[in-house]
Amino acid sequence: MRFLVYLSFALWCFSAFGANSKSEVLDDRVLTELAQSSSWLDLLHYHQIGIISPNESQIDDAEFFLSPQGMIDPKEELKATLQAFQTPYDGDDVNQASQCRYPARFNWLKDQHLDLNLIEPNCPEFQDWFGKLNGESIYLVFPAAYLNSPSSMYGHTLLRIKKKGSNSPLLDYAVNYAANADPNDNQLVFSYKGLTGGYPGVVSVTPYYEKVKEYNFLESRDIWEYKLDLTQQEVNQFIRHVWEVRNTYMEYYFFSENCSYQLLAMLDASSDRLNTTKNFNYWAIPADTVRELKNAGIIEDVSYRPSVVAQMSHMLDALSDEQIDEVKVLVLNEQLSLEGLSDFTELEQAQILEVAYQYSRYLSAREKSKLKYLNSRSIKLLSLRSKYDTTSVFSPILPPEIRDDEGHKTQRLGVTLGETEGDQFALLEYRPSYHDLLDAKGGYLEGAELSMFSGILRVSEEDSLRVEEISFINIRSLVAANPLVTPKSWQVNASLVRDFVIDDALVFRLKGGAGVTHQVSNNLFSVLVNGSASTSRHYENTYQQKYKIQLGPQLQWLYSGDAHRFMASYEFLDDIDHHDKSLEIGKIEWSYLMDVDWQVRAKLEQQKQDDLKQNTVQLSLLHYF
């Protein structure tokens, strides 16, 4: 009897050893081919972005890998994975088994038909989570640009997993990748760490309604949703891969390994036919990643969700001045009084209450209002509005004719011919991203300007070749006021520029300002107060110091047509140390859209300080790509 027990035990050990050894005897050529296949590399996030980036996984969490060399050697990680998937798990919690931690890897290896004895345990935690998401399809969600947040200036992307049989998107789940930032970091520290990989990027899965509240309501951002043409198998594999990476971290880089790029990488890992990260070698702008999915032919349908501010602005266009005054009474008075409503028809009353409800919610959340009664006021206004039989008192908001992904391309190359006080010159400009006030407006925020790390070279008979300008960051946000909301317009610029006062010497200048903007039809009128600080050793001859600080007003007009755009501005800057030296700058600019990616511009500019004056005329040809 004891002999039979020993014999059975020996046979079991041999069987187990044989199962565990199959990965060892798998042909090395097959192992190498599998390890270098795009699907396996995608599952490990082996991608390259950047000039000197190494060929290794972009996942920086050692816990994600089963092999100590897995981060830099995909073949070693494959060996360790095959070994783990053929070894019975002997721990207390089966959810920690490798097959349960890496369901996407396991599913992919099963599909390779390697004739291996892969052990498939029951994984209750994963199965419960997978069943809760119950994914039927995937939507790419693109909240538009939001200039008041450094991490969202170019927009943002996330993915929505649609539940089977559900027609309520708000009940779906969102997959988001973002920097896990320290809430105590100010905007300057956040920008620095975001540029240098100072934050871990994490994947999170949250109810979609929370994201809609964050982007659509709190930040007043329009949202575009793109349904992706994925098979059910690809949807399932994407969800499996989300499970694998949800507790890992990747270093977050604002321009390259950001939200949009990593979501593309996760989609690539879900399908053998996708390779959407291949064209992003240096940076990934959200609008460009949407274009990449469009070029891949996997965008099926597009829908639009207007922001709360867009909805309010649309409603206000239908209200009279008297109705708007009544909206303010209903929201801003601490004691609710409905007496004024009797002066209006039933339809007008319903309109007033609907706008008042939206306005009260906006003030309560977006403005972080100290009016404590607003939460209860919102509920009361909604209750009053529900008592009217009229269900729709405003026309629907039509989507913009040009979507955010259909505007001009984000890179720009320009050639300029010009003359300054008889000196003829040519300029060569390169702007890696993104948009300025005279660019074609379709697909971009009106009154918004954002560019980083652009540069201009100048060629002339006098100076041969020189650097004319290097712009590190340039942001303008000229948001128009409406009868209920008066947002702040602001601008900031940090550049190396030429100063004509000191013989066109190159100086570092930091400039910013704030004010208000009003819109009349297609015209934006802005009034700003600007401050400018410049530094250069060449200032010593004029100012007896190596810097100058200036302060003063700026008036600006911008006309936006479909093909033509005009901008005129006048700026007065008074030197706070030498008040007898004031600078005046006048500009008139025109742009004409020849094609979605080609534009012609002309500019007249005069700078004047005391008895010094400089007049410049320029004609430019710009190409977007």
Checking if the pLDDT of 489 tops 80, the result is yes
- Please give the average per-residue pLDDT across 274-300, as a whole number: 91
pLDDT of 377: 94
- DSSP readout, 156-187? --EEEEEETT---GGGSEEEEEEE---TT--H
Decide if pLDDT at 75 tops 60.
yes
Read off the pLDDT band of 555 (50, 70, 90): very high
Can you name the residues that pair with 22 across neighbouring β-strands? none
> Mean pLDDT throughout 550-563?
96
Across residues 440-455, what is the average pLDDT?
A: 93
Q: Which span out of 47-56, 210-219, 418-427 was modeled with the highest average pLDDT? A: 418-427
Q: Model confidence over 4-60: pLDDT tens digits?
A: 334 343 433 433 333 344 444 578 899 999 999 999 999 999 988 766 666 789 999
Q: Which pLDDT value is given to residue 18?
A: 39
* Amino acid code (one letter) for 165: G
Write the secondary structure of 40-95 as one string of H (helix), E (strand) and C (coil). Answer: HHHHCCECCCCCCCCCCECCCCHHHCCCCCCCCCHHHHHHHHHHHHCCCCCCCCHH
Residue 120 pLDDT > 80, yes or no?
A: yes
Rg of the chain taking only CA atoms, in angstroms: 30
Instruction: Report residue 397 as tokens.
Output: 């908001």
Task: Give residue-wise pLDDT tens across range 51-72.
Answer: 666 678 999 999 999 999 999 9
Tell me what the mean pLDDT of segment 121-144 comes to.
96
Domains of the chain: 2-120 (no CATH), 130-305 (no CATH), 319-386 (no CATH), 407-624 (2.40.160.40)
Q: What is the mean pLDDT of residues 286-304?
A: 94
| Overall average pLDDT of the 149-157 stretch | 80
Whole-structure pTM value:
0.86
What gap in Å lies between CA 625 and CA 622, rounded to an integer? 10
Q: Tell me, what's the pLDDT at 270?
A: 96
The length of the chain in residues reads: 625
Cβ-Cβ contacts under 8 Å for 548 (sequence gap 6 or more):
533, 534, 539, 575, 577, 578
For residue range 245-257, list pLDDT tens digits in order.
998 999 998 888 8
- Identify which has the larger pLDDT, 270 or 189: 270
Res 52: pLDDT = 60
Tell me which DSSP letter residue 25 carries: H
E strand spans, 211-312: 223-228, 249-252, 299-305
Residue 152 has pLDDT above 50, yes or no: yes
Asked whether the predicted pLDDT for residue 610 surpasses 80, the reply is: yes
Mean pLDDT (whole number) for 254-264: 90
Q: Is the pLDDT of residue 103 over 60?
A: yes
CB atoms within 10 A of CB 197: 17
